[in-house]
Structure 1
Amino acid sequence: MTDERDPDDVIPWSYPRLLLYALAGTLLISLFVAASTSGAAFGTYNPGWDGASQLRAEADAVDSDTTLARNVDAYDSVPANETTAVILSPDSAYGDDAARVREFVRAGGTAVVAEDFNSHSNDLLAAVGATARIDGRLLRDEQSNYRSPAMPVATNTTNHTLVDSVDRLTLNHGTVIEPNNASVLVASSEFGYLDENGNDELDDNETLASYPVATVESVGEGRVVVVSDPSLAINAMVDRPDNRAFIQSLFAGQEHVLLDYSHAERLPPLAVAALTVRDSPLLQVLAGLALITVAVSWVRRPALLTWLRSIVNGDRNPNGPQQTGTTDIGEHALVDHLLDDHPEWSRDRAERVVRATRREPADE
């Protein structure tokens, strides 16, 4: 006998239901984006103009493996003499943690410290054993700049391998460096000046000169590079002349790049979760088992949904419906629900729809 199903057995998609699903999908996507990205300045998970998400791409461009450090223990996971560590304007003092950075540098590592107006980096430089210091006053240049005197283009480069492919650096509201015993890599043009009082003008007590904006010095077996503007590495500035070339020069020839966010703002939850799983073999196994469970549940979802409906609707035996006339207790609840959504339907039609969705043949 041929099984001919009534066209009315198909549950129609209503516009309110579609709207509900669309809103739920939008909410889930928004929550995912919020949990996987960050709005923190210089953040590696911040894809905005002030984020530094492109830093990982620059490391990949020179075939370096990237490690994201949530604490200073990460310095022990990389070979110092094959690693460049990047510290962008830390939000809090390193304190005792500075000793780990010092050990890394003295063992042959390269530490790049980029700062403009925060004092935490000078404390870190002193603890590491570097002599260069961040000045903290705004550098302006009325002649050599990109769109604004507050975005000076430093055009004086020295004869050093780190700047062989660099003719200039473009800063964005940066400061300058007191090199002390460090070697200058890049300096501003001769028209640079320090805006002492912040009035955006060259005053009589402010001197035109070429000021250092990037230095390097040896510390133990390693070296410390200081840059007077962390904005040089943000997404909006990487493409400015010759910032990308300078960043890649710092990474070139190194097997590893360590992005030190141990003293920066907290990372987004999904990023933390992914890093935690990556660092724990046990969690990797548990995550794999969870994915297998989800996959099996998805394949068996019709039977699972039927079972859940039975439990929610109070069936005494979820594995076999209790017969009460033409429908079981669970079916009664489903029929009543359909009639609430579609008052224009007859009960007979609602019962046929329920049987069709539960794959039960209608009574002949």
Structure 2
Amino acid sequence: MPLWRFITLVVLGTGTAISLATWFFPTLDDFRTENEFWNGLQDIKLQYGINPIHSFDELLENSNNSLLIMIPEIEPTTEELNQLNAYVENGGMLLLANDYGTGNIILQHMDVLAQFSNKPLLDPLINAGDPRLPLATDLLASPLTKGVKSLSLNHATTIEGDGLTKIARSSSFSFLDIDNDTFADDDEPRGPFTILAQTRVGGGELILLADPSLLINAMVESGDNIVFFDNLTRMLGEETLIYIDEMHLSNSTTQKSKQLLFNLRAMLSQPLPITLLITILTISLLYPTWRKKGAPVWTKTP
């Protein structure tokens, strides 16, 4: 076998093997809807038909009957912030689930007088077996809390601000662990603290949740978390379209590779790109053979 052909086959084989391994390797990233493990959101995606999106362009077409779930770990661009604002003002519902991410930037852009404290919420007494797993049992009567007795949290933070309808709060035993030593120091703020709130933005609704972990596979069945989420999905009616923003989640190297392969597959599903690819591969493989055969040699005779 010619050396060039051997090298070509090795490169193609290695590339194919790596691509297949990456494609089929399970997603482990937090809050990903394709993640079936404890920290993913596959359970609610399958149960409620949630659509992951990687662009806000389609949101504006469905503002009046849709819910967008956003867990902003990566800061949105100015254009994306404008799109989000327009989506909510035109009648959309946004669940902004944030603990230590970039949610405050979104609130500032929407001129909402609230913020996430981005400080750990602990409760040494009213919890699910650990102070870092507080229970929110102080609930306001609301469509969101129908049938809910408690919300089970996991490394949550808190919501501060004015002009909000405060729907769920931690107990008076809770505190903000400013120095991360798990002890309630004298100078650390004491509860109750708001962990779920709601406000109007234009013609739409903004719902603030200080713990996106409430929705993960390992937590969604804890307490009455699933009841809360079911109430949320019904607020706009049974025909509500549910989206989740995955472009502002943190990406591991594996996830970036998966997204690259996904985009490549989408591109190659079009007729023109796949035709060009087949043509290029065919020419690359057959060119040495054509060159070896060569063209007829014409010799000049005197």
- On whether the aligned pair clears a TM of 0.5, the verdict is yes
Counterpart mapping for 1:77-96 below 5 A: 78-96=61-79
Unaligned ranges ≥5, structure 2: 1-16, 276-288, 290-302
Deviations 1:129-165 (A, max 9, x none): 3332101111111111012001101111101111112
Residues 139 and 204 of structure 1, relative CA distance in 2, 3 Å threshold: same
Question: In structure 2, the residue corresponding to 1:151 is in which secondary structure?
Answer: coil
- Report which stretch shifted further, 256-265 or 99-108: 256-265
Is the 8 Å Cα contact of residues 116 and 210 (structure 2) preserved in structure 1? yes
Q: Which of 99, 122, 143 is the equivalent residue of 1:140?
A: 122
The structure having more radius of gyration, on CA atoms, is 1
Structure 1 equivalent of residue 52 of structure 2:
68
- Report which stretch shifted further, 88-97 or 187-196: 88-97
Question: In structure 2, the residue corresponding to 1:146 is in which secondary structure?
Answer: coil
Measure how far apart 1:210 and its partner are.
1.2
Is the 8 Å Cα contact of residues 132 and 226 (structure 1) preserved in structure 2? no
Question: In structure 2, the residue corresponding to 1:89 is in which secondary structure?
Answer: coil
Q: In 1, distance between residues paired with 2:259 and 2:48?
A: 19
Structure 2 equivalent of residue 98 of structure 1:
81
Structure 2 equivalent of residue 199 of structure 1:
181
Q: In 2, distance between residues paired with 1:177 and 1:133?
A: 6
Over aligned residues, Cα RMSD in angstroms?
3.2
2:29 alignment partner AA: A
Deviations 1:86-124 (A, max 9, x none): 001322333331000000000000001111122x21011
Q: Which of 256, 273, 281 is the equivalent residue of 2:241?
A: 256
TM-score by length of 1: 0.63
Unaligned ranges ≥5, structure 1: 1-25, 61-65, 290-311, 313-364
Structure 2 equivalent of residue 17 of structure 1:
none
Residues 67 and 31 of structure 1, relative CA distance in 2, 3 Å threshold: closer
Q: In 2, distance between residues paired with 1:272 and 1:108?
A: 33
**Count of residue pairs the alignment pairs up:** 262
Deviations 1:12-51 (A, max 9, x none): xxxxxxxxxxxxxx999744422xx422211122222212
Q: In 1, distance between residues paired with 2:201 and 2:147?
A: 24
TM-score by length of 2: 0.75
Q: Which of 29, 45, 51 is the equivalent residue of 2:34?
A: 45
Q: In 2, distance between residues paired with 1:31 and 1:269?
A: 7
Is the 8 Å Cα contact of residues 23 and 261 (structure 2) preserved in structure 1? no
Residues 285 and 220 of structure 1, relative CA distance in 2, 3 Å threshold: same
Measure how far apart 1:288 and its partner are.
12
Structure 1 equivalent of residue 227 of structure 2:
245
Deviations 1:207-255 (A, max 9, x none): 4321100000001000100111111111111111111111222112252
Tell which has more relative contact order, 1 or 2 (C-alpha 8 A, sep 6+).
Answer: 2
Structure 2 equivalent of residue 208 of structure 1:
190
Q: Which of 22, 43, 56 is the equivalent residue of 2:45?
A: 56
Is the 8 Å Cα contact of residues 192 and 209 (structure 1) preserved in structure 2? yes
Structure 2 equivalent of residue 33 of structure 1:
24
Counterpart mapping for 1:228-239 below 5 A: 228-239=210-221
Question: In structure 1, the residue corresponding to 2:156 is in which secondary structure?
Answer: coil
Q: Percent identity?
A: 24
